[in-house]
Structure formats: structure tokens, C-alpha cells
Amino acid sequence: MGTKGEQDFEAVVEFNTGSIKPPLWIARAGSACDKVGNMGKSFDIGLERLTGMGVGEDGQPQEGGVKPPLQDASGDLKIGPYLNAIETKSAQPGMAVPPGSTFYLETFGCQMNDHDSEKVAGVLLARGYRQVNGPEAAKVILYNTCSIREKAAQKVFSRLGELRPADEQHGKSFNTEDTEEEHRVHRDGRALEKNHPSQRKIVNAAGGKIIGVLGCVAQQEGEEIFERAPWVSLVCGSASYRKLPQLIAELEAGNRRVTGLDTDTDETFETEITRRDNPWRAYLTIIEGCDKACSYCVVPFTRGPERSRASASILEEIRQLAEAGYSEVQLLGQTVNSYADPSARKMRFSELLAAVAEVRGIRRVRFTTSHPRDFGKDIVEAIEAHPTICDHVHLPVQSGSTAVLRAMARTYSREEYLEKIALLKAARRPISITTDMIVGFPGETEKDFEETLSLLDEVQYDSVFAFKYSPRPNTPSLKMPDAIAEEEKGRRLAILMDRQREIQRVMNERLVGETFEVLVDGKSRRENQWSGHTSSNRVMNFTSPEQELLGDYVQVKVVSAMPNSLVGEMVGRTR
Ligand code: SAM
Ligand code: SF4
């Protein structure tokens, strides 16, 4: 995976990571996990999924996806129909910033970060800013960061280093050229396009610019960031994004430094304008933060406590999205199925799913990530009752060993997890199941690891995102004895991936001859080659002589299969 050329179908899969793949789509960078999955890289779950999966040049999983903004042929940023529909609002007179004010926003990490960035962009657009695709041209430079694993967090400081003003260089004038190669490899394990912004010089970039760090690293490091990079003027964690418009206004008014670091909030981050990047799939955060306390995880520290958005507000936005032309929505949350409607309606998550599925114009409803503890029969029943709810559930298990699960504080045993899997397998239509695994957790014995491998055999996942355990600040597991050596973690990861790849190869081969509905979201440079996703989120690369298919729902018959994707030919359209 990861570094192949575009000559074969696997490579097409690699490039069709996310969701959108118009001809001028800029490839997203590598991510934090290694994924063995036919669900494609557009898989939208917890941290780092969806961001472009990959293995680096060194064969190691890459940390923290980086998403350069999408742009079209003119160099303007690409936007979805929803923004087009509401963009007029941002163009209204009376906005606070001087004409020509611009911002650059780069996102690291997970799907929730991606979507937060869409909302942050909306906040800035509403103030009259224009988004540009490189830091040089920007008045405001923002990095939305990820700290789920160590490497992801390090990347942000490397990026901030690129912006170090000349007078902070101890006499050395800053020039990215000397580190350019390294960054190219770090970003996604393959060379970036020649004209990518990262390849241009950023000399004395901080001069006169507002530089901000958002997201998990901001929350984790707080004002320390000002110490390490004094040219930064905004530090704001995701739990304080409600304050962003005010913080930005303070900077515009001349304040030198501002912070938003509270986590004791019961508010969610909703904005009037969201700059949606994907023209077909719209993301909606329905629950923010996390109240679980997995012993390895920084999320409860960095994203604050769980808080859910009122069901009426969610449904209203989905109606607007459908009217604006979106046919697929994805409900997001670190533990999306722990949703607790704060309004008097008190909708359960499964009831919300059903209500979303009934919104006129919505043809696909996805949700991620589900926590096994809160996953019940009612969710399976909602899927069965509503064909618009996609036949795919991502249910992270983390380990197949009850002893390790206990040490991780996951709140379920292997057997209890398997009971949830049994609910899914008993459903009236086949439901794809995918998961996350961590290998090399402190104290994980060879026997524990064998149990993880046997869980793969037992469940037969459609895709697995596997991570080497990464010790994180403030987490209980940091102090646990019996750390596993990096080399051993790598060995276990490789074994797990090999085992899973073989499972997927066999499972996908069974699909040859079947026909699936595909939402077309990619066009290859090669003639007549398209790609898209099935309801089960499998990547389908297919041939069709049609001239324009992007955004259409078509019927594709599978002609061959690979571990990570299906290959087919279009046999018709879906009305
Ligand atoms: N909330 C979801 C859940 O509980 O399953 C997952 C969200 S989490 C932010 C995304 C994934 O990152 C986790 O499922 C886990 O596999 C992985 N992860 C989290 N912390 C990690 C760590 N310290 N080291 C390695 N992987 C980690
Ligand atoms: Fe992290 Fe656990 Fe919360 Fe998932 S449920 S975000 S792994 S603490």
C-alpha cells in the first residue's frame, strides 16, 4: 500500500482515499495507522481514518494525515454545493476584515478534525476572509492538529518551524529548501506534486501574519506553544471553538496573543457557515468530546467531556444539506452512539438515525465511531428498517484479549464484544464490520497477541486499522509496567496486517459476480476508469464509457477483487 504508481488498480485505490476524487483533487497525505481494508481510505472514523491511509517509505505506518485544501483548475479552493448555497451570506457587506484578508488552514488527523476545519473555515469566511491554498499568501495561518499518537503531534512543531521568522533563526535566514525532501517524505510517504505549497519557500513567514494552533496539540500543550514558537499568536483547543470568532476578532483588533483552552463546556461547536470540502458527502458532528477513559487515549483530555447536539438542530441541518444537493451524510462523534439528545425530545441514537434516514433527498446515512459498550440491538434494527442507513458499522475492539481490554479500561470483555458482533451478523442484510486494533500495549503478552489474531479469524472483519501503541502524556497507561519494545510492536503489527490482508482477500473474492450500488466520487486519469464507494464503504474501481458520472449512483458488477478494493464494470444507473 501507499507508494505505488498510478498504473494499477491498487494505486487508484490509494489515491481515492477520501471521499472526493475529481480530476484535480490534491492527494491527501499519509496517516497515523496502518490499515488493511477494502473499505478504502475514505473511511471516516475516529482519529486519523479517512485522512489517507498509508505506509511510509520506511514501511512504517505514517502518523497524522495532512490535508492540503482542495482546489480546482483556477487555483480557487473547491467547495461543496452547501457552501455555494450559503456563501452569499459571507459575501454580505459589513464584514470586519479589510478587503483581501486571507487565511490558510491545514488539517492533521481525524475525520472530526477535518470537519472542525470545515467549520473553522466557515467562521473565517463569515468574517470576510478568503481561503488560499498556501501559507505564503495568507494573512492568517492555522494548523488544526492531532495528538493521538506521538508522531502526529511532532509534525505540527515541524510545520511551525517552517514559519519561524528570520530574526528568530539566530542569524540563519529560514528557507524550507534544506528540509524540503524530509517534509515531502514525512507528509505521505510519497513525493508531493511539484506545485504543492510545501515546496515553495516560506521566508520570514511570520512577519505581519497571525499564526494559530488549533485542536488536540493546542489543548495538550497550551501556552507552552508560545514558549516553543513565540511567533504563534492563537492557541485554541477544540472544546473552545465556540470562542473562535471572538478570539479572531481580538487578534484583528491588535491583541498579541489569545488562547481558548477551557474544556469545562457544555457547548458544541456550531457555526452558521461551514465550508464543506466534499461535494457529495456531508459530515455532521452530533456529539463532541469523550467521557470514556481508555487508559491510552488523550481524547478525553484534548476534546473535553461528551456533549451532544440537539436532535432538532441536527435534523434541520440535514434537511438543508439535502436541499443543497447532498445525498450522503455522515454523523460523527468519538463515540457517536453514546449520543444523548439534550432536548426535551430525548431521542436515542437509533431513533436519530432513523429520523435522518427519512429526510427527503438523503440516500445514504453513515455514522462513526461506535463504542462497543453503547452498541445495542436497536441500532441494528434501525439499519434493518432503513435501507438508507449504510450497511457498515465501525466497532473498534482494540485487543482480542480480555486482560488487555481490562488494562485499557475499555469496559467490555472479548466475550461481550463478540455478543455485539453476533447482533450484527444476525442482521437481515449483510453488514460490513470494521475495527481498530492497538498492538504492543504495555504488558501485552505473546498469548494476548495470539488472542487478537484469533479474534480476526473469528470476526472476519472487512477492514482493520491497526496501530502500534504510542505512550501519550497524562494517560494512565504511561505509567504501566512492561512496555513493549518498538521493534516488537512493529513485528506484531506486520503479523496482524498479513493475517488480515489474507482474510480480506478471501472475503472480497467471494463478491466477484455480485452487483453493488456505487456513489461515484473519483475519476482516474486513465480513460473510462472511475471509482466510488458501496454502501458498505468498499472502494470500487470500475470502467464505464460515460462522460460524466461524478456524484451519480450507479450499478457496478464486480469482476475481480483485491484485499483493499473491488474492480468492476458499470451495468446501469440507479434512479
Ligand atoms: N473513540 C473511538 C473508540 O473508542 O473506539 C476511537 C477514536 S480514537 C481517537 C482512534 C483510534 O486511535 C482508537 O480506536 C485507537 O485504536 C487509536 N489510538 C488511540 N490512542 C492511541 C495510542 N495512544 N496509541 C495507539 N493508538 C491509539
Ligand atoms: Fe479515546 Fe476511548 Fe474515548 Fe475512544 S472511547 S476517544 S479510545 S477515550
Distance separating alpha carbons of residues 44 and 23, to the nearest angstrom: 22
Q: Which pLDDT does position 134 carry in this prediction?
A: 92
326-352 mean pLDDT: 97
Residue 401, CA distances (Å) to 367, 456, 562 in order? 26, 12, 29
| Total Cβ atoms within 10 A of residue 320 | 15
Confidence of residue 236 (pLDDT cuts 50, 70, 90): very high
pLDDT above 70 covers what percent of the chain? 76
Residue 436 and residue 465 in contact, taking contact as beta carbons nearer than 8 Å: yes
CA of 333 to the centre of ligand 2 (A): 10
Nearest CA to ligand 2 atom 4: 334
Residues with CB under 6 A from ligand 1: 46-47, 148-149, 296-297, 299, 334-335, 369, 371, 396, 398, 436, 438, 467, 469-470, 472
Please give the number of the atom of ligand 1 that sits closest to the Cα of 299: 9
Residue 185 and residue 57 in contact, taking contact as beta carbons nearer than 8 Å: yes
Please give the number of the atom of ligand 1 that sits closest to the Cα of 396: 5
Residue 115, CA distances (Å) to 145, 237, 241, 331, 423 in order? 12, 14, 12, 11, 30
Higher pLDDT, 270 or 418: 418
Residue 277 and residue 246 in contact, taking contact as beta carbons nearer than 8 Å: no
Residue 195 pLDDT > 60, yes or no?
no
Residue 7 pLDDT > 90, yes or no?
no
Please give the number of the atom of ligand 1 that sits closest to the Cα of 48: 10
What does the DSSP 8-state code read for residue 133? S
Residue 542 pLDDT > 60, yes or no?
yes
Higher pLDDT, 282 or 84: 282
Please give the number of the atom of ligand 1 that sits closest to the Cα of 298: 20
518-535 mean pLDDT: 95
Please give the number of the atom of ligand 2 that sits closest to the Cα of 291: 3
Per residue in 403-446, pLDDT tens?
999 999 999 999 999 999 999 999 999 999 999 999 999 999 99
Angle at 310 between CA 110 and CA 91, to 5 degrees: 70
Q: Which pLDDT does position 5 carry in this prediction?
A: 27
31-37 mean pLDDT: 41
Q: Which pLDDT does position 112 carry in this prediction?
A: 93
Distance separating alpha carbons of residues 2 and 54, to the nearest angstrom: 5
pLDDT above 90 covers what percent of the chain? 66
Q: Which pLDDT does position 279 carry in this prediction?
A: 87
CA of 528 to the centre of ligand 1 (A): 39
CA of 308 to the centre of ligand 1 (A): 20
57-66, 246-255, 313-322: range with lowest mean pLDDT: 57-66
Burial class from Cβ neighbours inside 10 Å (0-12, 13-18, 19+) for residue 348 reads: middle
Higher pLDDT, 279 or 315: 315
Confidence of residue 245 (pLDDT cuts 50, 70, 90): confident
Distance separating alpha carbons of residues 321 and 327, to the nearest angstrom: 8
171-187 mean pLDDT: 28
384-409 mean pLDDT: 98
Please give the number of the atom of ligand 2 that sits closest to the Cα of 47: 6
Confidence of residue 546 (pLDDT cuts 50, 70, 90): very high
CA of 422 to the centre of ligand 2 (A): 23
Residue 164, CA distances (Å) to 144, 157, 236, 385 in order? 18, 11, 20, 56
Q: Point out the ligand nearest to the CA of residue 290.
A: 2
Nearest CA to ligand 2 atom 2: 294
Q: Which pLDDT does position 233 carry in this prediction?
A: 95
Q: Which pLDDT does position 456 carry in this prediction?
A: 98
270-277 mean pLDDT: 86
Confidence of residue 575 (pLDDT cuts 50, 70, 90): confident
CA of 49 to the centre of ligand 2 (A): 14
Residues with CB under 6 A from ligand 2: 290, 292, 294, 297, 299-300, 334-335, 371
Per residue in 367-377, pLDDT tens?
999 999 999 99
Burial class from Cβ neighbours inside 10 Å (0-12, 13-18, 19+) for residue 311 reads: buried
Return mean pLDDT, the chain. Answer: 80
CA of 377 to the centre of ligand 1 (A): 24
Q: Point out the ligand nearest to the CA of residue 294.
A: 2
Q: Which pLDDT does position 374 carry in this prediction?
A: 98
Residue 327 and residue 240 in contact, taking contact as beta carbons nearer than 8 Å: no
Coil, strand or helix at 487: helix
CA of 207 to the centre of ligand 1 (A): 38
Angle at 168 between CA 204 and CA 176, to 5 degrees: 45
Three-state secondary structure of 402-444: HHHHHHHCCCCCHHHHHHHHHHHHCCCCCCEEEEEEEECCCCC
Q: Which pLDDT does position 168 carry in this prediction?
A: 64
Omega into 475 within 30° of 0, i.e. cis? no
Q: Which pLDDT does position 96 carry in this prediction?
A: 62
Q: Which pLDDT does position 270 carry in this prediction?
A: 85
Q: Which pLDDT does position 95 carry in this prediction?
A: 53
114 φ, ψ (degrees, to nearest 5): -55, -50
CA of 74 to the centre of ligand 1 (A): 38
Q: Which pLDDT does position 324 carry in this prediction?
A: 94
Cα 291 to its chain centre, rounded Å, is: 20
Q: Which pLDDT does position 242 carry in this prediction?
A: 87
CA of 384 to the centre of ligand 1 (A): 28
Most confident option among 77-81, 524-528, 539-543: 539-543
CA of 295 to the centre of ligand 2 (A): 9
Confidence of residue 447 (pLDDT cuts 50, 70, 90): very high
Please give the number of the atom of ligand 2 that sits closest to the Cα of 398: 7
CA of 297 to the centre of ligand 1 (A): 6
Ligand 1 mutation pick, 285, 436, 444, 496, max ligand atoms within 8 A of CB: 436
| DSSP state string for 27-56 | PP---SSEEEETT-TT---TTTTTS---B-
Per residue in 114-126, pLDDT tens?
999 999 999 999 9
Residue 256 pLDDT > 70, yes or no?
yes
Residue 78 pLDDT > 80, yes or no?
no
Q: Which pLDDT does position 59 carry in this prediction?
A: 31
Coil, strand or helix at 490: helix
243-257, 336-350, 465-479, 496-510: range with lowest mean pLDDT: 243-257
Please give the number of the atom of ligand 1 that sits closest to the Cα of 410: 4
Please give the number of the atom of ligand 1 that sits closest to the Cα of 334: 1
Nearest CA to ligand 1 atom 6: 46
Residue 155 and residue 180 in contact, taking contact as beta carbons nearer than 8 Å: no
